[in-house]
Amino acid sequence: QQQVKQSPQSLIVQKGGISIINCAYENTAFDYFPWYQQFPGKGPALLIAIRPDVSEKKEGRFTISFNKSAKQFSLHIMDSQPGDSATYFCAASWARGGGSQGNLIFGKGTKLSVKP
């Protein structure tokens, strides 16, 4: 069973602080690692994604750090804001595999609360 393990399950951060969510994967064939953000009552939305040929990708306050040897990747939210309060999902896929191998496998999610 291919899995993506995500931690922590919940996270409380003060406004202005750094939020860090971690994911670990098993399948070394995975070559695409996105993060999705979900607000209550809404569907998940793509936030940022990375390929394994780079160790870091930054978009605004959001950064993905990728460690290929450890098979881990993490999401860092700098200067966290109350509006960032949401559930975050990491995911992984073997995009080049085609067919069902290209389907995303999601972590179980992290509920982030940013306190004002």
Partner 1 sequence: NAGVTQTPKFRILKIGQSMTLQCTQDMNHNYMYWYRQDPGMGLKLIYYSVGAGITDKGEVPNGYNVSRSTTEDFPLRLELAAPSQTSVYFCASSTGGPYGYTFGSGTRLTVV
SS3 16: coil
CA distance to 8, 22, 36, 55, 104, per residue, from 107 (Å)? 11, 10, 10, 20, 10
Rounded to whole angstroms, the Cα distance separating 36 from 90 reads 6
The stretch among 12-20, 21-29, 78-86, 96-104 that binds partner 1 (CB under 8 A) is 96-104
Residue numbers 34-63 binding partner 1 by CB under 8 A: 34, 36, 41-46
Applying CB under 8 A, among 53, 69, 70, 98 the residue interacting with partner 1 is 98
- What letters, b where the CB count within 10 A reaches 16 and e where it falls short, cover 52-83? eeeeebeeeebbbbbeeeebebbbbbeebeee
Applying CB under 8 A, among 69, 70, 83, 99 the residue interacting with partner 1 is 99
SS3 83: helix
Applying CB under 8 A, among 11, 20, 48, 104 the residue interacting with partner 1 is 104
* Contact status: 83 vs partner 1 (CB under 8 A): no
Applying CB under 8 A, among 19, 21, 107, 114 the residue interacting with partner 1 is 107
Which parts of this chain interact with partner 1 (CB under 8 A)? 6, 9, 32, 34, 36, 41-46, 89, 91, 93, 95, 98-100, 102-104, 106-109
